[in-house]
Amino acid sequence: MPSNPARSRSAATPQKTPERLLAMVAFPGVTLLDISGPAQVFAELSEIELPSPNYALSYVSSSGGLVPTDVGLMIETVPIASLKPHQVDTLLIPGGPGIWKLRQDEVLLKWIMQTLPKARRIASVCLGAFVLAWTGVLDGRRAATHWRYCPRLQDGFPDIKVDPDAIFVRDGHVWSSAGVSAGIDLALAMIEEDFGHTIALDVARRLVVFLKRPGGQSQFSTVLAAQASDVEGRFSALHAWIIENIASDLRIEKLAAKAGMTPRTFARTYVNRTGMTPANGVEALRVETARLLLESRQVGSVVEIAQRAGFGDDERMRRAFLRHLGVSPSEYRRRFSG
């Protein structure tokens, strides 16, 4: 009996699984990288065989059309009226200097509030956390935003538990991240949740984002923070000397002599200039040194790195890493090494 051609084609062609709609809100003055960073991460999935449905990206605005970003480039958007709240799997709200005028966009805010309880996952990048705060969805939750705006978010919304250091925070189905490039880390973490660790690392490699940062890592280096505070650069030469002699005995008396001060004057001046005690400054530089060694894998064991960075033993280095970075040396190497 001859086979039915139509039936054969139907059996040979599997039904395509519906994609998960990922809606990214756009508004005049949105930060381009807050949108393009996560979008590029998600777009890379089209080149990878996935175990479950991929995302369908949609850029939405109040009335659709071209929306100007903070750098003048335009983003083509669809009107929010074209999407029903229950269709959205993941809602992502970026930040940007135009965020404050968005509060007057009643139509867009209403759509966001209608979508929040229906979406499987909601997220913000940088100042987008303020939009979530206005809706009340962050009340009682932990949240992150750009470190410069953490005090403003905390003061304006005391019911939110603002984490001033975290790159990104996940509290239940609500995600939030720090500024600009942290949106890339947020997107990679979402991919890891949906598709697994291996695929997330594959995407990171494709984008040459070889440092896949955990959310609990500090937004910026302790050493960079100290340098930013030392606006006159009074201790720049001292910091360079410390790095060159990082495995040496770096007690305060030796540092003070190198700086040409008495120990008491040096300790007081160093704190005033950098916001850290000399001991904390040395520890921060040792953490920076150990980070580079862990990333490059030039040294074999964690114990050996602890000695080369001046910690003496790996337990002392582990405690320092937890204080400064929120992760252990072993975990840092696993996530960050080339």
Query: What is the set of active-site residues?
Result: 126
- CA atoms lying within 13 Å on the CB side of residue 155: 5
Dihedral class, residue 18 (left if φ above 0, else alpha if ψ from -120 to 50, else beta):
beta
Is residue 160 within 8 Å of residue 133, measured between CB atoms? yes
Q: Are strands 55-61 and 20-25 parallel, antiparallel or unpaired?
A: parallel
Phi first, then psi: give them for residue 24, nearest 5 degrees.
-115, 120
What is the C-alpha separation between 197 and 193, in angstroms, rounded?
A: 8
Could you tell me how far CA 203 lies from the centroid of its own chain? Answer: 16
Is residue 242 within 8 Å of residue 285, measured between CB atoms? yes
List the end-to-end C-alpha distance of the chain, in Å, as a whole number: 60
